[in-house]
Copies of this chain bind each other. A is one copy, B any other.
Amino acid sequence: MSSNAAMAETAALVGDPARACMLNALMDGRALTAGELAGAAGITAQTASGHLARLAAAGLLAMERQGRHRYHRLASPAVARMLEAIMMVAGAAPPPARPRRTGPADAAMRRARTCYDHLAGQLGVAIADAMAARGQVELATDGGAVTPAGEDFLAGLGITSQAVGSRRAFCRPCLDWSERRHHLAGGLGAALCARCFELGWVKRVPQSRAVLVTRAGEAGLRRAFGIELD
């Protein structure tokens, strides 16, 4: 059973704290240089170099040289999904343990962040809740669908069905790491996230997966979704 060994090898790569840190830093979908990743993991450049080479060899990372720099990013959405899945199990892990402060310590991260290509945190959950409450999407633990009313609503936001995906069922729910509730992922989640950036409703916090809701964003989100973050 060689597939067992392959699985163990892949998991072992994620199973080192320094590598996990680097992978996590790439979970926002951007590409970072080797130096930045070394800093994020708190290790020296030469140690990071070894790790990155192994991750790339295993197909977890894609590497791209640009001048003196080498940019690394997650090789595919499948890798991001794997990391999500691991994080979910890790988060729910201690079953008979003390409740233990859930989620990231960083308040901004808890409030709003990107999760590979879509929005998560309080913002992501609020959007999902609002769209579900208005009958714009139907959510279930195993999948979801956009309703006709939802398509109209998205069109009004400037999101075409082409941007979302060709089929009706493109709205994968993704259990939120800090909120422990579902938010919108999949094609719909990615399109909504991209549109929020385009509209200037949210902007990235440097060196972080966290995003800030701008003043225009607060107004826009209230108008479009009827949501009001604390």
Contacts and interface: CB of A to CB of B under 8 A. Distances in A.
Interface of A: 1-17, 19-21, 24, 58-60, 75-76, 78-79, 81-95, 103-105, 138-145, 165-172, 175, 177, 185-187
Contacts of A175: 78
A59 B144 contact: no
A103 B4 CA distance: 11
A87 B21 contact: no
A14 B20 contact: no
Contacts of A16: 8, 12
A3 B91 contact: yes
B177 A87 contact: no
Given A4-B17, A5-B17, A14-B15, A169 B185 contact: no
Contact of A171 (B17, B103, B143, B187): B143
A166 B140 CA distance: 8
Nearest to A97: B59
Given A3-B177, A140-B168, 11 more contacts: A7-B90, A8-B15, A10-B15, A10-B89, A11-B15, A11-B90, A12-B12, A60-B89, A79-B89, A142-B185, A143-B144
A86 B5 contact: no
Nearest to A13: B15
Identify the 9 closest CB pairs spanning chains A and B, nearest first: A12-B15, A143-B143, A142-B186, A140-B167, A11-B14, A8-B20, A143-B169, A15-B15, A11-B15
Given A3-B177, A8-B15, A90-B7, A145 B168 contact: yes
A187 B103 CA distance: 28
